[in-house]
Structure 1
Amino acid sequence: MTNWRPDPSQLRRPAYLSLAEQIARAVQEGKLVNGTKLPTHRRMADDLGLSVQTVSRAYDDLIRRGLISGEIGRGSFVQTQAREPEPPYLPERLGEVIDLSILKPVCEQIHVDKFRQAFAWLSENLPASSALSFRPNMVFPRHRAIATEWLARCGLDVSPLNVSVTNGATSGMTVALMSVAPPGSTVATEVVSHHTLVPLSTYLGLHLEGLAIDEEGMIPEALDEACRKGPIRAIFLQPSVINPMAALMSAGRREALAAVAAKHDIAIIENDVLGPMVEGRAPPMAAFAPERTLYVTSFTKITVPGLRIGYLVAPDRYVAAVANRHLVSNWMATPAMAEIATRWVSDGTAMELVNWQRRALVSRHAIAAETLAGLSYRAHPQSLHVWLPLSGSHTEDAFVAQARLRGVGIAPGKSFHTTDQGWTPALRISLGSTTESELRTGLAIVASLAQGNPEELLLAI
């Protein structure tokens, strides 16, 4: 902890930015050196007579600038050396490691065969425009028309004019954020959210505010309070099982969040990459608030990982912005992949693979229920993963390290956390990234560690 403290008499409005500037100057002048631990949000707020939220915004702004880092459970530290966020998954599968860290659909030979057959068909049927054109409007009108058929299966009735074809969900998320939130603005999301959202917001110069959740996801009252305290430009939601906690949001909750968004006139970005695979779900947020929701879906998590293609649906007010942002960040989706997706939607292959995936997950969840018996975890019948809170004094880093030593890769919960406030240690464990035999072995190791003595676990590292 440093002896340097900000001068409260030098604070100006907006206070969070003024505080951030003071700390930034102290870093630049060498008064705060690399690795220095800053006071907690509460301590800094008490010392300066500010709210905890104001200090949190200042720290978040400094994180966005790359001047400090926030480490869950440890605090905030000066960071004068560039540091990129680590992915929650193993960068590669090494040796005999059972990789349960990366979120993948269950895949077998049928997926390779279907993909090979698609390329064989493509070799004979690729339109000249898909091979030669630089103009998206020359390539994609037919694809956007077929996309509306798939989007209807997702629960949306939209015009082809509101659909953009993207290179998967990450491209769609990026374009959506760029379209509704200019640099320096605030985007609200759930306290546990998409693992790329934090670094993506940093790269785009956005302030990310993690809001309280319950078993369904974001709490409407928390969103309303955040909007009243400061300007929120958009909210990012994953209401249908793909979120880290595998939660499925009810129709009532979606309607309530849509009402708050309408009240404060903010945009909604909805990530729904599982689409029609989730049975019994409520209509998408985009059905409750079509005038303000940018809806993202894709095929990679429900058909074949190599089919990196998706759709971004934008309301009329954002169509031009989406088209322009997509041009400057991607120019256009890969035409060959779009051709395969369009064919699979038209001939029924896409739904065939979705139904196959749904059946395969029944077996995977049965294995999880058997091997994790006695542990309290969250899942959904169509989730590609389980969320395992850690009990007692288990820590994420120690648990993940020990599991790796025993040959199992798992994702730490901190990779999905959007704030360092009120964090409960947890793990995300993929069910589809290995064979059933490896899954059973890997989950048994995780269960053994979770039921063991964390003090012994730490000594073993």
Structure 2
Amino acid sequence: MTTWLPNPAALRRPAYQSLADQFAQAIAKGIVAAGARLPPQRKLADDLGLSVQTVSRAYEELIRRGLVVGEVGRGSFVLSPAAEDRSPYLAQREAALIDLSILKPVTERRHVEIFRKGLHWVADNLTESAALAFRPNSVMPRHKQIAADWLGRNGLDVAPGNITITDGATSAITTAVMSAVPVGGTIAAATLTHHLLIPLCKYLGLHLEGLPFDKDGILPDALDGLANKGSLHALYIQPSAINPLAIVSSLERRHELIKVARRHDIQIIENDMLNRLVEHRPPPLAALAPERVLHVNGFTKSTLPGLRVAWLVSPPRTALATANRHLVTNWMATPAMVELLSHWISDGTVDRLILWQRDALRERHQIAQEVLGSAPFHTHPQSLHIWLELPPGSNEEDFVAQARRRGVAVASGGAFRIDDRGRRDAVRIALGSTTASDLRQGLSLVTDTLGSTAEPLLPLIG
């Protein structure tokens, strides 16, 4: 049994959440080792002066986060690092299963041909520096200027030197989080957020706080209240339809959040991966508060999945730190792929792919509306997914399992949830991950699952 105990003086409301956070940080730092048995709930409650109910809820929260497992009659044990967080998507495609779990743009055979043609261009035009250079500064200046010009046409005035070119959004987000939040620091996000942010913060030893939101995005008063409680370093935000509920925050809400961030000197990490795909969106937060927003802008969601390049725009005060964090974790983006993106921006291919994607998504959303009918779901005309709310009393994990038995894979809402405050069980359904006909069939299977009575899942034994 672990001899480490949480500090009761550091607890804040809600106490169970704060208690779970202390355990999570101790586990992340190795203070509480894998396999360690947590104190019995009643004993810990007595030691800390808490109710047994509070400790019980904290242990349940640790189980939900995948950090602890409860064994009847034995107690609660810390899981080993090998017990990784479950992804919201299938790790690999299964035969005869319609996969609506992974977020991808709509693609057709033409996209393969466009990619092949682009790679032929790269082969014929690859520069010596792109092929042989080992220093980012000797490869990327021209590409950063092209990036700055493209961003400028989309409302974001940025100096090329403040752009870090990365191998996709995951690399850019990791670099941004490491640059904005020190080890042991606190970052906030909507309670439903990017599924990779949750394990990333755990791996980096950061404290992640969930913020309530409404149909316009994160509530400014909630951000202000959290900042007033103590040291908050950064806010992670997905304001333009890439968030789980596909919300596009208004210009007014963006200004309100920036006002709070300026008052408390909070940095903002803005995930804008859909960028120009979203029509009539307000300006990005980086255009409204360039002194404090780290802006992630990429192309895998708006053009085609293989174009794994993203730009991370940093404020001048953090540009050097961002570049250093990226050097340590990734060194530099793959030059050949950066050459391809720069060429496609220059010859208009990226713009044409984005316009095509809008038209394709229009058809996919029409299919979803026709098949799901009156089922309650959230979406946006240019989002790549819908967020389907389940009937009261449903359990999203059971629903995902039942749907999979019927032949369709969807993503559980739990993968995107920081905590259970205001919880409404739901699933995320990707619209672009398969053909239009398979989407229609898969959504029909989802509808069948919605209308069925949940049955216990029996083992399939031959």
Q: TM-score, normalised by structure 2?
A: 0.88
Q: Do 1:162 and 1:313's aligned partners in 2 also have CA atoms closer than 8 Å?
A: yes
Rounded Cα–Cα distance in structure 2 between residues aligned with 1:364 and 1:338: 30
Change (3 A) 1:195 1:332: same
- Does the residue aligned with 2:382 lie in a helix, a strand or coil? coil
Q: Do 1:273 and 1:298's aligned partners in 2 also have CA atoms closer than 8 Å?
A: yes
Q: Do 2:247 and 2:379's aligned partners in 1 also have CA atoms closer than 8 Å?
A: yes
Rounded Cα–Cα distance in structure 2 between residues aligned with 1:361 and 1:185: 39
- Cα deviation for residue 152 of structure 1 reads 2.4
Matched residue, 2:210: 210
Matched residue, 1:290: 290
The two structures, once aligned, show a CA RMSD in angstroms of: 3.4
Change (3 A) 1:302 1:67: closer
Matched residue, 2:453: 453
- Cα deviation for residue 419 of structure 1 reads 1.4
- Cα deviation for residue 303 of structure 1 reads 1.1
Rounded Cα–Cα distance in structure 1 between residues aligned with 2:51 and 2:235: 29
- Does the residue aligned with 2:192 lie in a helix, a strand or coil? coil
Matched residue, 1:248: 248
Q: Cα deviation per residue 1:58-103 (whole Å; 9 max; x = unaligned)?
A: 9989999x85379xxxxx9542433210100011111110000000
Matched residue, 1:362: 362
Q: Do 1:6 and 1:22's aligned partners in 2 also have CA atoms closer than 8 Å?
A: no
Rounded Cα–Cα distance in structure 2 between residues aligned with 1:203 and 1:163: 26
- For residues 58-137 of structure 1, the aligned pairs below 5 Å read 68=68, 78-82=77-81, 83-137=83-137
Rounded Cα–Cα distance in structure 1 between residues aligned with 2:395 and 2:24: 34
Q: Do 2:33 and 2:78's aligned partners in 1 also have CA atoms closer than 8 Å?
A: no
Rounded Cα–Cα distance in structure 2 between residues aligned with 1:262 and 1:11: 32
Rounded Cα–Cα distance in structure 1 between residues aligned with 2:10 and 2:351: 54
Change (3 A) 1:31 1:351: closer
Matched residue, 1:48: 50
Rounded Cα–Cα distance in structure 1 between residues aligned with 2:291 and 2:25: 41
- Cα deviation for residue 218 of structure 1 reads 0.8
- Cα deviation for residue 450 of structure 1 reads 1.2
Rounded Cα–Cα distance in structure 2 between residues aligned with 1:179 and 1:62: 30
Q: Cα deviation per residue 1:348-370 (whole Å; 9 max; x = unaligned)?
A: 00000000000000100000000
Change (3 A) 1:450 1:62: closer
- Does the residue aligned with 2:428 lie in a helix, a strand or coil? strand
- Cα deviation for residue 244 of structure 1 reads 0.9
Matched residue, 1:219: 219
- Does the residue aligned with 1:48 lie in a helix, a strand or coil? coil
Change (3 A) 1:381 1:80: closer
- Cα deviation for residue 217 of structure 1 reads 1.6
Rounded Cα–Cα distance in structure 2 between residues aligned with 1:275 and 1:77: 44
Q: TM-score, normalised by structure 1?
A: 0.88
Aligned residues: 444
Matched residue, 2:237: 237
Matched residue, 1:193: 193
Matched residue, 1:181: 181
- Does the residue aligned with 2:296 lie in a helix, a strand or coil? strand
- Does the residue aligned with 1:227 lie in a helix, a strand or coil? helix
Rounded Cα–Cα distance in structure 2 between residues aligned with 1:44 and 1:293: 45
Rounded Cα–Cα distance in structure 1 between residues aligned with 2:228 and 2:430: 38
The amino acid across from 1:453 in the alignment is T
Q: Do 2:34 and 2:79's aligned partners in 1 also have CA atoms closer than 8 Å?
A: no
The amino acid across from 1:165 in the alignment is I
Q: Do 1:166 and 1:311's aligned partners in 2 also have CA atoms closer than 8 Å?
A: yes
- Cα deviation for residue 174 of structure 1 reads 0.5
The amino acid across from 1:419 in the alignment is D
- Does the residue aligned with 1:228 lie in a helix, a strand or coil? helix
Change (3 A) 1:157 1:402: same
Q: Do 2:25 and 2:207's aligned partners in 1 also have CA atoms closer than 8 Å?
A: no
- Cα deviation for residue 347 of structure 1 reads 0.6
| Structure 2 gaps, min length 5 | 13-17
